[in-house]
Amino acid sequence: MSDLDLTGGLKPLGVLEALAEMQQPATLAQLVTYLSVPKPTVHRWLKALESMGLLSRHPDGRRYEIAARATQLAIASLLGEPGRALRRNILRRLVDELHRPPCGVGR
């Protein structure tokens, strides 16, 4: 897992982070090992995240995966402010750079 230190009520978000880093659905046992957290705690977190629609069960019924709601939240966060202003500035600089003639051309 990353170095992000989640505390209190944010700790269950570590499950989402773990699944994102693992890049595949994971079982309870795999998440317990990956997170180094007791099985009952991870199970409780999974139930909470599943009830919020942030996690879903893989069709095999044993593994968990990031649900569409969490993906939509991530996309909305990326497309919203303040990231929009940053992306706009990067694109503006890129357009300026691309419209300049190459070195030695047109001089």
User: Could you list the pLDDT tens digit for every one of the 107 residues in the chain?
Assistant: 444 555 667 788 889 889 988 889 999 999 999 999 999 999 999 999 999 899 999 999 899 998 888 888 888 877 776 667 777 788 888 887 787 655 554 44
**Closest listed residue to residue 30, CA positions, set 20, 14, 19:** 19
Q: Which helix (H) or strand (E) holds 87?
A: helix 83-99
What CA–CA distances, in Å, run from 106 to 95, 97, 103?
19, 16, 9
Q: Which pTM value belongs to this model?
A: 0.66
Q: Which helix (H) or strand (E) holds 57?
A: strand 55-57
* Dihedral angle, C-alpha 98, 102, 105, 107, nearest 10 °: 90
pLDDT score at 46? 94
**Which residues share a beta bridge with 56?**
65
pLDDT score at 92? 82
pLDDT score at 1? 47
CB 32 within 8 A of CB 38: yes
Residue partners of 105: CB distance under 8 A and separation at least 6: none
